[in-house]
Amino acid sequence: MPTPIEMASNLIFESSRIVVFTGAGISTESGIPDFRSPGGIWSKYDPSDFTFQRFLSSETAREKYWQMSTEFYNTVKSVKPNAAHLAVAELEKMGKLDCVITQNIDGLHQMAGCSAKRVIELHGTALAVSCLDCHKRYDRDLIQKRISDGDRVPRCDVCNGLLKPATISFGQTMPEKETAEAMHRSAQCDLFIVIGSSLVVQPAASMPLIAKEKGAKLVIINRDDTPYDHLADVRIHDSAGAVLPEILQRVRALS
């Protein structure tokens, strides 16, 4: 009887259009705390203080938002991709990766070597800032420099509109283009691999179900149980950084 790692390796070897779906669990292994975990952002701040509506309506809320976001960004800037990110990038080098759909905002997939065009960021990116009015996009470091120089609530230098990290906040509409593209890719893949996601945040959590309904195989690699474990062809309760390199090594051997 093959082990789950052997089964996952065989499925990857046999597949040519793989969608990888990643959540906070892949980045915690790089040292980024899950927002909801002990030591995460929401153990220090009240999530209700950071809704999109509060950001729009209150200068005090905006200042607090930038304070919280700066703390998270400083963490992101100090970390590097881990073995799991590198393994996903290797799938692209093998010509097997259709895309990465990620709930993460840290840019670690691109840093690991995944092509930006193959990474669908459902919740945006912490590495950029956008004007909510004219939609001009800024490199995050430029805005952080302004904040460190005393500009507590930065505004757009073109239209004076509100600037906000290019991430999706509570109460903010999910990006239509990225969400539609992710659902389309999920429906077209032959293998859907979940890495480090609890699969409870919608609509993202429905994507493995879409893939499975269209005939794809489903692999779930997550430390904890998920609502879709019973649908998985392979379920691995372990650290992605520990098991993915071994899986990829077996795929190379099969090749």
What pLDDT, on the 0 to 100 scale, is given for residue 170? 87
Mean local confidence (pLDDT), 104-119: 97
What pLDDT, on the 0 to 100 scale, is given for residue 50? 82
Tens-digit pLDDT profile for residues 27-58: 999 998 776 555 556 556 667 778 999 999 99
Mean local confidence (pLDDT), 115-132: 97
Architecture of domain 1-32+80-123+174-255: 3-Layer(aba) Sandwich (3.40)
Q: Phi/psi zone of residue 171: left (φ > 0), alpha (ψ -120 to 50 degrees), beta? A: left
Tens-digit pLDDT profile for residues 19-28: 999 999 999 9
Name the DSSP class of 51.
B
What pLDDT, on the 0 to 100 scale, is given for residue 178? 95
Q: Does domain 33-78+124-167 have CATH number 3.30.1600.10?
A: yes
Give the closest residue to 12 by CA, choosing from 76, 136, 97, 70. 97
pLDDT band at 138 (very low <50, low <70, confident <90, very high): very high
Whether residue 72 is predicted with pLDDT greater than 80 in this model: the reply is: yes
Give the closest residue to 104 by CA, choosing from 124, 132, 79, 128. 124
Pair of tokens at residue 13: 């070897």
- Helical (H) or strand (E) element with 221: strand 217-221
What pLDDT, on the 0 to 100 scale, is given for residue 45? 66
What pLDDT, on the 0 to 100 scale, is given for residue 49? 78
- Pairing mode, if any, of strands 18-22 and 97-102? parallel
Residues near 134 by Cβ (< 8 Å), separated by ≥ 6? Answer: 156, 158, 159, 161
Whether residue 148 is predicted with pLDDT greater than 60 in this model: the reply is: yes
What pLDDT, on the 0 to 100 scale, is given for residue 203? 84
pLDDT band at 113 (very low <50, low <70, confident <90, very high): very high
Task: Tell me how many degrees the CA angle 96-102-104 measures, rounded to the nearest 5.
Answer: 140
Largest separation between any pair of C-alpha atoms in the chain: 64
Residue-averaged pLDDT of the chain:
93
What are the catalytic residues? 123
Taking the domains of the chain in order of start, what are their residue ranges? Answer: 1-32+80-123+174-255, 33-78+124-167
Three-state secondary structure readout of 55-111: HHHCHHHHHHHHHHHHHHHHHHHCCCCCHHHHHHHHHHHCCCEEEEEECCCCCHHHH
